[in-house]
Structure 1
Amino acid sequence: MADSQRTSEPTNFVHQDEIWKAHVKVEKDLAKVWPNKWGFLTETYKEYERESLKLKEEARMKLPHHLAARPPTPPEKNIHVSRSPSVPQTTQAFIGWRSAHSHLQLEKYGTVHHGRRSFLKELGWPLDACS
């Protein structure tokens, strides 16, 4: 409510400009003083970086050969893609045309049987024990 009343008052652009100039001057002055006051932090950070690189190199050297990272296995070794059957002539035959062939089905390892058991039956409780 107070904001709607303030918009009716005239804005003094010269005063707003003076406030902006003061803010910029303070920023510039603080930027000149910062290295003398807080510059030690940059040296501490550079020292920390050097130390961490040294520790990483030591850890890399001490790593036994059986824990070293192996190169990735090429996907061609495990993934075998067989030829697709010919594309059907009609759109009705196009629906499910690949799943009709047993070697192209998505369920290669049988149907999924997760979630078929009851927690209450495993505990030997009656089915209405939890409501």
Structure 2
Amino acid sequence: MAAPKQPGSGKEFNFVDQDQIWKVHVKIELESAKAWPNKWGFLTTSYKTQEQSHKLKEVVRLELPQHLKTRPPSPPDKYIQVGPSPPVPQTTQALIGWRSAVPELQLERYGKVKCGKKSLLKELGWAFDACI
């Protein structure tokens, strides 16, 4: 009698070999389960300490003084006012920089950025390579 064929393929199926493979897999799983606490058991202790710290935080609640408490955020409408935009230009050439032409919409609201002309190194009489 011919050996039975594995379903879905034309290969012969050996029950004894399959049983041996299954036994090896089960044996490896059992050995791994026994070795796991020695290799990775420290993870469970850190998880337990985290749980304990969360419980302690819930038990010990400190009330902050009034000057250290954060205030609820104020609504943005209170300090930001957005006005209407100017009309959109008709041509694409006029579209470039059309908002910067309006003084209220310019990014530099407080004037242009000015760089200092004095140097701390020059005032102290140090060489320019002193900071490098």
Deviation of residue 99 (structure 1)?
Answer: 0.9
Give CA deviations for 1:39-70 in whole Å, capped at 9, x if unaligned: 97566345412331134335643322332233
How far apart are the structure 2 equivalents of 1:115 and 1:21?
A: 79
Aligned twin of 1:54: 55
Runs of 4+ in 1 over 4 A off after TM superposition: 20-27, 34-43
Rounded to whole Å, the distance in 2 between the matches of 1:114 and 1:21 is 78
Pairwise CA distance, 1:91: 1.7
Q: Which deviations, in whole Å up to 9, do the C-alpha atoms of 1:15-60 show, x marking residues without a partner? A: xxxxx98985564123331476579756634541233113433564
Bigger Rg over Cα: 2
Task: Summarize the alignment of residues 22-41 of structure 1 with structure 2, pairs less than 5 Å apart.
Answer: 24=25, 27-34=28-35, 41=42
Alignment of 1:1-131 (within 5 A): 24=25, 27-34=28-35, 41=42, 44-57=45-58, 60-114=61-115, 116-125=117-126, 130=129
Unaligned runs of 5+ in 1: 1-19
Structure 2 length-normalised TM: 0.57
Shift of 1:100: 1.0
AA partner of residue 95 (structure 2): F
Relative to 1, partners in 2 of residues 1:61 and 1:117: Cα closer, same or farther, differing over 3 Å? same
Q: Which has the higher contact order (CA 8 A, sep 6+)?
A: 1
Percent of aligned pairs sharing the same letter:
45
Question: Counting helix residues as a fraction of each chain, which structure ranks higher?
Answer: 1
Change in CA separation of 1:112 and 1:23 when aligned onto 2, cut-off 3 Å:
farther
Task: Report the AA paired with residue 102 of structure 1.
Answer: P
Change (3 A) 1:36 1:117: closer
Query: Where does the alignment leave 5 or more consecutive residues of structure 2 unmatched?
Result: 1-20
User: Per the alignment, do residues 22 and 107 of structure 1 end up closer, same or farther by CA in structure 2, a change over 3 Å counting?
Assistant: farther
Q: Which residue of 2 aligns with 1:16?
A: none
